[in-house]
Amino acid sequence: MPSLHPSRSQGRQGRATTAFILISIILLLAILPTAAAQEKLLYRTPNNTLLVYACNAEDACEACSPVEKSLDVCKPTGNKEPIACKPIDAVNLNDTKEHDKNIWWSPEDVIPLDPGKDPILPTWRECDLVAGIESFRFFMFEVVNIMILLVAGIVVLWRRRLMSTEQYRRIATRLAA
Ligand SMILES: *[C@@H]1O[C@H](CO)[C@@H](O)[C@H](O)[C@H]1NC(C)=O
Ligand SMILES: *[C@@H]1O[C@H](CO)[C@@H](O)[C@H](O)[C@H]1NC(C)=O
């Protein structure tokens, strides 16, 4: 009788591999950058149209330089990020049906526009600079790499073991014949 129990050890290896893959996926999800918050800007034209703009961060949050500290965008947090705002909707507020479909905004968030004036879209906004988040991401990236190496190593070992078991079986069959 072979001392090795192929089916049982294979089951254990399979479970270990599955566990490693699952952990790797969880770690990968943890390091993926969180979806940047989308901010909406609302303007009301003199003809009672609500113009909706969506703003997305174009680049990473950065600390304002000493010269920039006095800028309005730098006052709340001392950090700023570049943004791009694009028109996404125009709601006719005279139309009660359209108005009721768009009740997610509150009137105090709406900026009234002067006749014939286009909205002045911001190009920067304040942001929170979380200290060390980048180095944490890098650390997690390394952890995931090591995990993947481990999984690959286990798969190689497992396959090698499977092959030697197969060889052993073949020799045993030949000897029995
Ligand atoms: C809404 O109603 C006002 C007054 O009746 C009118 O001047 C304006 O053009 C209307 N706006 C739209 C978008 O139809
Ligand atoms: C209302 O004003 C906006 C922008 O000022 C314009 O694009 C739109 O055509 C106007 N709508 C009406 C019904 O006058």
CB-defined site of ligand 2, < 6 Å: 45, 47, 49
pTM for the full predicted model? 0.56
* The token pair that represents 78 in the structure block: 């001392």
Give the residue, out of 44, 47, 89, with the most ligand 1 atoms within 8 A of its beta carbon, to mutate for a pocket test. Answer: 47
**pLDDT for the residue 34:** 52
Q: Which atom belonging to ligand 1 lies closest to the Cα atom of 94?
A: 1
Ligand nearest to the CA of 48: 1
Q: What is the pLDDT of residue 74?
A: 94
CA dist 159 and 37 (Å) reads 46
Give the rounded percent of residues in the chain with a pLDDT score beyond 90: 44
Task: Say what the pLDDT of residue 49 is.
Answer: 92
Whether the pLDDT of residue 150 is over 60: the answer is yes
pLDDT in tens, 129-145: 765 666 777 788 888 88
Q: Is the pLDDT of residue 81 over 90?
A: yes
